[in-house]
Amino acid sequence: MPRLDARHVFQAVNALDGLLAAGAAGHAVAPVPALAAIAASQAALTAACLCPRCRFLGPVITRVATTKPEVALTFDDGPDEAMTPRILALLAEHDARASFFCIGRRARQAPQLVRAAAGAGHSIENHSWDHSPRFALFGSRRLAHEIDETQDLLADLSGQAPSCFRAPVGFRNPWLAPLLAERALRYAAWSHRAFDTLDPAPARIARRLSRALMPGAVILLHDGRNARDAAGRPVLETVLPTLLRGLQARGLRVVDLPTLLAGHDRALPSQDVPERDAAPAPRAFR
Ligand SMILES: [Zn+2]
């Protein structure tokens, strides 16, 4: 079956627009099937925008095909005054490296944390300027602004421009992939996620993450907006040491995402992992 992408949907919509225009000009068309096809195309495009790991809107990093015993940890939504230093200390204890997908506005508020993470050998990546819940509704110009402002600040603070981008909540639109390509940025999703902003039960999160103990896994965690357990502690305080010990016990080295990608073996087949164990009912974002 031929591969479909966003451009095909737009071509279909344009063709159907032409049909409707012909109808408006008095030519014979069948409006009901044409409208149904437009609705179906729009529904397919909307579904793709809301699907964080779909390749319909451009290349996406999920699980990396590698023969090396390596796993990438990624932390979103920071830097966070309370959590980022604790995470940096835990990573140092386990000689682990990670990627921090920083929100530009937060990085401007706590530049010392970005410098500290970069200075400890972690990679700093781009997670938009504002982390707007409307990100996927932005046009090309606004998206470029979100990417470029953050890119400039993080490059300045860390000494190296980010090489990966992740959209807020993973929602994208068809304008994002061309902008990333122009900037030589790769789009990073994940293979396993903890739901650590939504789930207050560390044991349940640890169980979910136990499925991520495999080479090439890209694990999504959060230093910003971490859920609190029954005692009021951020869940990662309990979960992260368990995860790091589990990875170590399996002989898996914890690396940042660019390092994992550098070991990508193109001879291996794509290794998508189906997502299971959905999060608890989400509360409103922010
Ligand atoms: Zn985020």
**Residue 29 C-alpha to ligand 1 middle, in angstroms?**
46
DSSP β-bridge partners for residue 254: 71
| 240, 93 contact by CB (below 8 A) | no
At residue 80, the pLDDT reads 97
At residue 20, the pLDDT reads 42
The token duo for 53 is 């790991």
**Residue 99 C-alpha to ligand 1 middle, in angstroms?**
13
DSSP 106: H
DSSP 63: S
Distance, in Å, from the CA atom of 83 to the CA atom of 58, rounded to the nearest integer, reads: 32
At residue 277, the pLDDT reads 63
**Residue 67 C-alpha to ligand 1 middle, in angstroms?**
29
Q: Quote the pTM value.
A: 0.84
SS3 content of the chain, % helix, strand, coil (to 5): 45, 15, 45
**Residue 10 C-alpha to ligand 1 middle, in angstroms?**
28
The CATH classification of domain 70-262, taken from the options 3.20.20.370, 3.40.50.300, 3.30.2040.10, 2.60.40.10: 3.20.20.370
For residue 146, what are the contacts with CB-CB under 8 A and spacing of at least 6? Answer: 104, 128, 129, 130, 132, 135, 138
Bin 222: left if φ > 0, else alpha if -120 < ψ < 50, else beta: beta
Q: Which residue has the tokens 């999920």?
A: 62
At residue 154, the pLDDT reads 98
**Residue 168 C-alpha to ligand 1 middle, in angstroms?**
4
At residue 283, the pLDDT reads 52
At residue 54, the pLDDT reads 86
**Residue 31 C-alpha to ligand 1 middle, in angstroms?**
42
Q: Which residues of the chain have pLDDT under 70?
A: 1-34, 276-286
> How many residues does the structure list for the chain?
286
C-alpha count within 13 angstroms, C-beta hemisphere, residue 53: 17
Delimit the domains of the chain by residue range: 6-49, 70-262
Distance, in Å, from the CA atom of 229 to the CA atom of 29, rounded to the nearest integer, reads: 60
